[in-house]
Amino acid sequence: MTEENLPTTFEETKSKFDSIYFYFVILFNDSIHEFSYVEDCLMKLCFKTKKEAKKIAMEAHSNGKAVCFQGSMEECETVAENMTTANLTVILGV
């Protein structure tokens, strides 16, 4: 990386490293679970804040699906397994 391409701010640095995790978990909307239950699962199982959980749940509700977690393959497999155990519909993505 040349000096010209180096990030100059924290946000630029952060965005450069956001892409190191190529795996993610996609949450699908369903008509079975209450919104609050989905939010609680997102907070507990995906380590989201209340605000993030609400945003993800709303996106899944509106668009039919939403990325709820991003990380290493092992982390995503664990999160997906836990979400499935909580009776939520998820898939792994790359």
Q: Tens digit of pLDDT for each residue in 31-84?
A: 999 999 999 999 999 999 999 999 999 999 999 999 999 999 999 999 999 999
Would 83 be classed as within a structural domain?
Answer: yes
70's tokens: 């991003």
Q: Assess whether pLDDT exceeds 70 at residue 17.
A: no
Domain extent at residue 69: 34-94
User: b vs e for 56-85, b when ≥16 Cβ sit within 10 Å of the residue's Cβ?
Assistant: bbebbeeeebbebbbbeeebbeebbebbee
pLDDT at 8: 44
- The residue ranges of DSSP E strands in the chain, in sequence order, are 23-28, 65-71, 90-93
20 domain-assigned: no
Phi and psi based region of residue 92 (left: phi greater than 0; alpha: psi -120 to 50; beta: remaining)? beta
What is the token pair recorded at 1?
A: 């990386």
Within a domain: 3: no
- Answer whether residue 24 is part of any domain: no
Whole-angstrom distance, CA of residue 24 vs CA of residue 31: 23
Considering the domain boundaries, does residue 56 fall inside one?
yes
Number of domains comprising the chain: 1
Flag whether 80 is in a domain. Answer: yes
| CA–CA separation, 8 and 38 (whole Å) | 38
Q: Would you say 7 and 16 are in contact if contact means Cβ atoms under 8 Å apart?
A: yes
